[in-house]
Chain A
């Protein structure tokens, strides 16, 4: 078992390395957003130098430009004839420096746009708890609710209750969370004014804890609806299948009531695929929170991801990407391991 876990962790590291490497190179392939004005343009290129992406051709090497032995990425003059020639390092060179800094100094680079000069790792780590908190609350709410709805629908299969729940489930599955939050915002915040329209600032939260608590409702609802629907659908499907199985019929014939047979046998068996799904839903919620955080001004890592891409703050994007990748990969490991907890017959890593 431990051997299996260690092996999986090593594979996770390798996968994360490959994913991040490809992401880094693709980001570096994006065209340069060179500012328009001359002073900003010079500042931009000097910043690229300080970030280690390129180097400025010194005066004594201008002749190499003339002879074509140095091909500058950009080469321009200011109004008084000063020359500015810069050469990008190749992507492989930039990648090598990036990897070197991570492995030797745990230096993931600094933010260039979001919080200039601040460590990208620091920015993400400061915001990670907010995202995690929201996502865990959402999972904590959506899991029991979804399972409960699924059980009710399965037990009332073919009746109005089942039809109603199934219809609602289909709607919630179909509508993305950012549409839900927009709807909730327009209705409950902008319209009725019952709930805050923005995530409260720290000073607001301290001054009015009730308002701070109410601020959770919209994002948690938006994050949970899809998840509740997912749980309900799977629970209903699994439970319906188990309910029609022969061993349950046997249990009933042995004298168990319907409730006893459902609780003791049907539910336990149907939970095998559903418990791992909790972790999958957590990942799903995590990725779904990106746009939601942006819309509700939640200071989380999802917000940073969108902002980082929009503003081309690649260091922040890479750290954010690393967090998402590692959470996703470790989640799959936990999912696999959880099978064994739910169903002791399943043993990961055992010889066949």
Chain B
């Protein structure tokens, strides 16, 4: 007993999870109201402008480790169980370039070779097994999902990425390296190996290691480059297509590269929203996408053709490193398409197409232009859809579609006009669609498929002495399956989900019954150690997972360097296995000790009494998940907990009640998780494996409102009392560090703060009213401002009483340098505030001039002022908006004021 307690103490100390106060009491979350502990942090708080965007790999890995450690320690990342690794079977006739799985790349099946006389899984040839002889020498693959479209622009289906990739080329792509041990990025349609950085005037600048830029240029290949390169840059389409004569062998032109961007934004196709997002999006796309179709201009969008350079010049929303600029532009979403082709498939009359580089000016041209655009718009929606059979499938990629029967099969044949056609090893590729895994499995058994991911029910055939073990290849996982945790205290739950919850709102009678045991760290650490994740993983052919991030997450994607292989990444895992006699963090004895101590604390605090029956609810999407995971977890946790000395001596019993969130609607389970209505729940976490630092936003409290991560506990925007993050000699909040490693952060006492917040209205003297916006007021050593505010605008929204509601907006530029002659509003940056002086008579005159004579000022509530502006600090340029509502009284405007 003594030995066990000692060991538990060691583990707890190693994990950094046990109580740090005297008397062995466990410290739990502070309730989220304070940003500092009573004794203060060991290291000074991070403050000022902190920017690690261009930090070296080691520093970034340490930052990521600090974030992951926090997520694990607080359980805001859930409790990892296993990843989604498994097995993939390949028929004997396939010779893979690599038998070892390469994270984020696979086995290089696309670069494999196929022996047409080779055998399938059952020892016979494909033709003998009933594969049609015309396609027997094609690679035989399958899918269990079919989105019914190749139109990547207008679909969210995950399978569309792969389908569209088969028939499209991209600016940059990945291929296997020489010794077939990894992969590397290369230029495909881009002439440059990497995008070229530009200054804001469009001049090329030299790239230096670690630099970031908003502006990037990609020089692009066209058919004019064929002689120089020996490669072909032309379109192709199936011979049986009615567009064959026009588009087979049609050259790729520079203007074709602009078509996909315009198709997406002009028609608001489904993936257009990806172009407006800050991480990978382009400047001006939001305004263009949702702006007035008659007045918006492509000139305002950060995607411009540069005829002189033979390039497209991009302006991103946020600064990009060279790698991420390349990565974001490598999507086949931006593969070139002739606008004329969209016009044709959109139903435009033959011969009616005229390319307009700019908007036409004459009225007749405009009419014609609009007509053309409507055909092009229809074509953009039709592109890649099944409505025209194979007519809508123009290819620049390695294959062309020869046959397409939606939800049955797709047959691709080699594209002889692909720019790297000599690298295509298969004569064709046949993909069949099955309704379920078992049906696909039977086809594999019958020798009609070249690859197969065995369903869990047949996993034993791929292992040990299983029938297909010699054809099996082990894959690594990218998704971590975990147990989600609602570790809120009552105060925290109230903050997130109470009557005035910040994430969801509940009436008091619908409050979730928050269990004190769920916010006890010893209990949650006990749960971590009680799970035999190795046993669970083996049963399902998976790999046990100890951390949030799998091997697939690259801290340096350029060099294929996995975060998990860095010393910092490994240290996080070590913190959960040191002192535990198991490589996968399983120790029932240590779990028992932690449970025991948790119970003692909870009993001492009066949270529970002897004889208590504690029921925790675990929510799952499907009954099948309960059968495969939930029941095992319930068994592990209950068995250990209910046999602890304190539980048995006090007759305390723990029961975990597994239930399906809602039968027939798995989204209801997500809703329950988002609303904090659970104790444990089913979870999985995966994201952008090439940018794990950005992916860690899922842990941020404000991201949880979007359902990315549904674990609840302490707030990440504050410095944790129990788990303060220490990095680079400073103490941080989670959000503060997250923002700093993804750009510049403005920090005060370790907490990330906004560049500006609404301040108080100072009142009016009848002539003018004054109000403030607060700023962090940060200055450098020389007293110069670290945050620069520019481009300020005002928007007035004037409200009315009654049923009629008017909206009038005005844009009034203001300069910060002091008085502006003739300006009606003045603004001045003070040390920590921006002061606004609004002149009463100007507002009155403004209102008088605005409204019709039958209305008077008495019918207005007041004025809502939205101040929008840009600010720059570190590498960041941000657009901000602050709203201030002021009544007429606040403004000192006397009423009624009759309209003039």
Contact = CB atoms under 8 A, between A and B. Distances in A.
B156 A43 contact: yes
B386 A31 contact: no
Contacts of A60: 807, 809
A244 B526 CA distance: 78
Interface stretch (A76-84, A277-285, A319-327, A336-344): A76-84
Interface in A68-107: 69, 76, 78-82
A168 interface: no
A262 B403 CA distance: 56
Contacts of B278: 78-80
B135 interface: yes
B387 A117 contact: yes
A198 B443 contact: yes
Contacts of B668: 31
B149 A117 contact: yes
Contact of B276 (A33, A78, A201, A208): A78
A211 interface: yes
B646 to A, nearest CB: 40
A211 B434 contact: no
A201 B411 CA distance: 11
A118 B151 CA distance: 12
Interface stretch (B264-272, B631-639, B745-753): B264-272
A113 B667 CA distance: 17
Interface string B387-404: 100000000000000010
A43 B273 contact: yes
A208 B317 CA distance: 56
Contact of B277 (A38, A198, A297, A303): A38
Contacts of A33: 667
Q: How many residues of A sit at the interface, in one of the four size bands?
A: 35 or more
A52 interface: no
Contacts of B798: 63
B530 to A, nearest CB: 29
A34 B861 CA distance: 36
Interface stretch (B126-134, B183-191, B250-258, B842-850): B126-134
A196 B797 CA distance: 68
Given A67-B799, A294-B435, A41 B706 contact: yes
Contacts of A297: 408, 433-435, 439
A61 interface: yes
B343 to A, nearest CB: 17
B707 interface: yes
Nearest to A122: B387
A175 interface: no
A274 B585 CA distance: 69
B147 A116 contact: yes
B134 A207 contact: yes
Contact of B805 (A37, A39, A64, A80): A64
A203 B411 contact: yes
Among A82, A211, A297, the one with the most B-chain Cβ atoms within 10 Å of its Cβ is A82
A80 B385 contact: no
A43 B385 contact: no
A303 B274 CA distance: 33
A201 B798 CA distance: 64
Contact of B132 (A34, A47, A206): A206
A116 B154 contact: yes
B143 to A, nearest CB: 12
Interface string B857-887: 0000100100000000000001111000100
B442 interface: yes
A190 interface: yes
Residue from B133, B270, B387, B411 having most chain A Cβ neighbours under 10 A: B270
Contacts of B105: none
Nearest to A35: B156
Interface in B117-152: 130, 132-135, 147-149, 151
A82 B286 contact: yes
A115 B443 contact: no
A62 B809 CA distance: 11
Given A36-B708, A203-B132, A46 B270 contact: yes
B109 to A, nearest CB: 22
B432 interface: yes
A142 interface: no
A193 B148 contact: no
B756 interface: no
Contact of B270 (A43, A62, A66, A201): A43
B578 interface: no
Contacts of B445: 190
A272 interface: no
A243 B861 CA distance: 90
Contacts of A115: 148-149, 385-387, 406
Contacts of B317: 80
A43 B271 contact: yes
A294 B439 CA distance: 11
A204 interface: yes
Given A43-B272, A203-B132, A297-B434, A36 B805 contact: no
Contact of B385 (A46, A64, A117, A207): A117
Contacts of B411: 203
Given A31-B667, A69-B805, A201-B409, A39 B277 contact: yes
Contacts of B880: 81
B435 A204 contact: no
B147 to A, nearest CB: 7
Interface in B775-833: 797-799, 805, 807, 809
Contacts of A34: 667
Contacts of B878: 80
Contacts of A62: 797
B382 interface: yes
Contact of A201 (B271, B381, B432): B432
Nearest to B880: A81
Contacts of A294: 435
A8 interface: no
A295 interface: yes
Nearest to B148: A115
Given A63-B797, A115-B406, A117-B387, A203 B135 contact: yes
B879 A202 contact: no
A44 B668 CA distance: 18
A116 B385 contact: yes
Given A36-B706, A60-B807, A116 B442 contact: no
Given A35-B156, A43-B271, A197 B435 contact: no
B270 A202 contact: no
A59 to B, nearest CB: 8
Most buried by B among A44, A78, A117, A294: A117
Given A80-B278, A81-B880, A116 B130 contact: no
Interface string B754-787: 0000000000000000000000000000000000
A139 B435 CA distance: 26
Interface in A257-302: 294-295, 297, 299
B156 A40 contact: yes
A128 interface: no
A224 interface: no
Contact of A63 (B382, B665, B805): B805
B664 to A, nearest CB: 10
A335 interface: no
8 closest A-B pairs by beta carbon, nearest first, are A207-B132, A115-B148, A42-B273, A63-B797, A43-B270, A201-B409, A79-B278, A39-B273
30 contacts: A31-B665, A34-B667, A38-B706, A39-B271, A39-B273, A40-B156, A40-B273, A43-B270, A46-B270, A46-B273, A60-B809, A63-B799, A63-B864, A67-B861, A78-B278, A79-B277, A79-B279, A80-B879, A81-B880, A115-B385, A117-B151, A117-B387, A119-B387, A189-B442, A203-B135, A208-B132, A294-B435, A297-B435, A299-B405, A303-B407
Given A62-B797, A116-B154, A118-B387, 13 more contacts: A36-B707, A39-B277, A40-B273, A46-B270, A58-B290, A63-B864, A82-B286, A116-B385, A122-B387, A204-B130, A206-B132, A207-B132, A211-B130
